[in-house]
Amino acid sequence: MVLVRDIMSKEVKVVRPNSSVKEVVADMNKFNIGSIVVVHGDKPVGIISERDILRRVVEPCLIPETLTAEQIMTSPVITINETATMDEAAKLMAKKKVRKIPVMNKQKLVGIVTFTDIVTKVLTTFSILEELLNP
């Protein structure tokens, strides 16, 4: 049984609710990531994806310097416990129609699990099993 903590990324990039959208985009570009978690203290309060920026900033032609992360984030943020299984994470993503979920250990943000993390693990497992079928 594969747990979320076994496949998640432990390096979670975060911003504060009062960060400007320009700063958010700069951080996402700097770290080459498609989403960023918005935290208040250590608690995730939202998430901003590239799609959020397109829908809430670019399409309405708003000025990124005048908006804050809090104004465009998706909230409440869906989280999952690090001891949940990969299957539980996949089902939650499908049910909530999200591709990235912050991972928690009690009340602390410890990682993020993505659709890509799950697909990569599944494909790796299939490759290993395929070797058994084709000696």
DSSP letters spanning 30-85: HHT-SEEEEEETTEEEEEEEHHHHIIIIITTT--GGG-BHHHHSBSSPP-EETTSB
**pLDDT for position 113:** 97
What pLDDT does 124 receive? 77
* pLDDT, block means (10 residues), the chain with 135 residues: 94 97 98 96 94 96 96 97 96 96 95 94 77 73
What is residue 128's predicted lDDT score, i.e. its pLDDT? 72
Q: State the CATH class of domain 4-133.
A: alpha beta
> What is the predicted pLDDT for the residue at 65?
94
Total-model pTM: 0.88
Report the pLDDT value the prediction gives residue 135, as an integer from 0 to 100.
64
> How far is CA 77 from its chain centroid?
10
User: Do 80 and 92 form a contact (C-beta atoms < 8 A)?
Assistant: yes
So what's the pLDDT on residue 40?
95
